[in-house]
Amino acid sequence: MFSGRLSAAIVAVLALMPAPAPAAVITPEAAADILRKSDVASLAPESFRARLRIDALHQRPGPMDIEVWRSGDAKSLVRFLGPNETGKYLLRLDDVVWFLAPGARKPIKMSPARRLRGSASIDDVLGIRYGRDYGIERATETEEAGEPLVVLDLAARSKRAPYPKIRYFVRRATERPVRAEYLLPSGKTSSVVEFLEWREGARPVARRLVITDRLRSGLRTEVTLLEMEERQIPDGLFDLADPTERSRLEERSSEAGG
């Protein structure tokens, strides 16, 4: 009786309330365009050599420098530049990552999700291909600090995708990514990458990004682009079995150092 009247009243009040304003919906074509223009990995030059510094902020050991050689979508090589790291490489051929070390005769297969330093995984450093491995599930618009952002909810469509779901925030005005939230199958956020600085040019490249590990008490890792040069890369550098070209690399850098 009484409860019946109460529920009637609640229904009445709800009916009178204004419906929430629907988020501005973006057409699928527009969304696909935004993703293409903001896809960091695809934006990067086809073939380049870069030096990166990875620093797990406020953690020991300190920053680590690496050199990244990339040739096309399929081949990349990470060279470790630390004083005791001579001869150590990570080699990515298609989606398989190999670790090469002077103490080990054979390359060791690695998971791309393996952390290099702090929360920075191999994937984070070599880039996740949003455009290639993910499909847009939903595109909405929101506002942060007075700036309109496009939010793309991405879902993995390839086995190579490291995370099942990504929420990708892109600044409407510049079409540059602001951040990416990587979600676990449970829907829980595992980590967040914020793109903080850009190297402008014909092909803009993120110059500083910070990865926050939401699973490990907010551990923050900063990745900084120290230098970058667009250039052709000899294919021998990516030869899994033959280290000749790579050892030439070591010789040259030791000459430069000495």
Partner 1 sequence: MKFAVIALRNLARNRRRTLLSLLIVAAGTIGTLLTAGFIRFSFEGLREAIIHGGIGQLEVVPRSDVAGGESSAERPGIPGMQDWQELRNGIEAMPHVLAAGAIVQFTGMLSKGERSAAVIAVANEPGRERRMRFEVKLRGGTGLPDAPPSDGEDAILLGTVLARSLGAEAGDLLTLLGITTDGTLNALDLRVAGLITTGLQDLDSRIVKMHLASAQRLLGTQNITSLVIGLDDTARTPEVQAELDRRLRGREPSLAIVDWKTRAPFYGQVESLYLGIFWFLGSVIFVLVCLSTSNTLMMSVMERVREIGTLLAIGTSRAQVAAIILLEALWLGLLGALAGDLLGIALVAAINGLGIQMPPPPGATGGIELRLATAPGDFAATVALMLVILGIAAAVPVGMSVRLRIADALRHV
Nearer Cβ to partner 1 (85/245): 85
- Please report whether residue 116 would count as binding partner 1 according to CB under 8 A: yes
Q: How far apart, in Å, are the Cα atoms of 168 and each of 32, 49, 76, 235?
A: 12, 27, 24, 34
Near partner 1 by CB under 8 A: residue from 4, 20, 22, 61: 61
Q: Which residues contact 183 (CB under 8 A, 6 or more apart)?
A: 163, 164, 165, 166, 167, 189, 190
- Please report whether residue 148 would count as binding partner 1 according to CB under 8 A: no
- Please report whether residue 106 would count as binding partner 1 according to CB under 8 A: yes
Near partner 1 by CB under 8 A: residue from 45, 85, 190, 230: 85
Residue 198 and residue 106 in contact, taking contact as beta carbons nearer than 8 Å? no
Nearer Cβ to partner 1 (108/226): 108
Structure tokens at 133: 């491995």
Residue 142 and residue 154 in contact, taking contact as beta carbons nearer than 8 Å? no
Q: Smallest gap, in angstroms, from Cβ of residue 83 to partner 1?
A: 8
Nearer Cβ to partner 1 (79/129): 79
Build a one-symbol-per-residue string for 6-45: x at contacts with partner 1 by CB under 8 A, - elsewhere: ----------------------------------------
- Please report whether residue 88 would count as binding partner 1 according to CB under 8 A: yes
Q: How far apart, in Å, are the Cα atoms of 92 and each of 76, 124, 199?
A: 5, 13, 25
> End-to-end CA distance of the chain, in Å?
92
Residues at the site binding partner 1, with contacts judged by CB under 8 A? 60-61, 64, 80, 82, 84-85, 88, 90, 99, 101, 103-106, 108-109, 116-117
